Amino acid sequence: MKRPPQGDLSAIGTILGVAFVAAFLILGVLPFLVRKLSEARILTNSVFIAALAFTLLPLFVNPYSLAAPARHSSRASACWW
């Protein structure tokens, strides 16, 4: 059985780590948003942010350049709420 190159494994680990951190932050912020905003506004903004993220996804080649805008957009979306 052929093993994948080491670089591929670190990229997968980075992607999984960023996804875990994003899920952790969302679960921490969501209760505060629910108290301040309506359900419809939270869902609408979430759909638009996800659409923007999926639109930009093909523009990034490696996982590190993909994680940087995700970090900055989470700060921007926190201010946008």
**Within a domain: residue 44?**
yes
pLDDT of residue 4: 56
- Host domain of residue 35: 7-80
**pLDDT tens, 33-70?**
889 999 899 889 889 988 988 888 888 777 677 677 66
The answer to whether 45 and 81 are in contact (CB under 8 A) is yes
What is the pTM assigned to this prediction? Answer: 0.52
**Once rounded to an integer, what is the mean pLDDT over residues 69-73?**
60
pLDDT of residue 41: 92
DSSP 3-state percent helix, strand, coil across the chain (nearest 5): 85, 0, 15
Number of structural domains in the chain: 1
Say whether pLDDT at 22 is over 70: yes
**Once rounded to an integer, what is the mean pLDDT over residues 14-30?**
85
**Within a domain: residue 1?**
no
User: CA–CA separation, 25 vs 27, rounded Å?
Assistant: 5
**Within a domain: residue 19?**
yes
**Within a domain: residue 36?**
yes
The answer to whether 49 and 73 are in contact (CB under 8 A) is yes
